[in-house]
Amino acid sequence: MAELLGGVVHELPADLREAITAENVGDLWNGLTPLGRNEFVCCVENAKRRPCCWPGCDHRERTGKP
């Protein structure tokens, strides 16, 4: 398999690279457009973030910002 490509803005994170390699879908991944890869990486990275459920969350108290 050739080198796995990143997106336009986002590089391919190590855990996602590992999953793509383990499933042997690197050729499919590289067949996506650069913007398509970028959107996928962005979507996965956003899903990893801690959800913010309400304005009183502890992490908001320190900055006062959402």
In a domain, 25, yes or no: yes
Number of domains in the chain: 1
- pLDDT, position 18: 92
- pLDDT, position 57: 57
Q: What is the identity of the amino acid at 42?
A: C
Q: Residue 45: which domain range?
A: 14-63
% of the chain residues with pLDDT over 70: 71
DSSP assignment of 28-53, as one string? HHHHS-HHHHHHHHHHHHHHTSPP--
How would you label 32-49 residue by residue, b for 16+ Cβ within 10 Å and e otherwise? eeeeebbbbbeeeeeeee
Q: What is the pLDDT of residues 14-44, one digit of tens each?
A: 999 999 988 889 999 999 999 999 889 888 8
Q: How far apart are CA 22 and CA 42, in angstroms?
A: 20
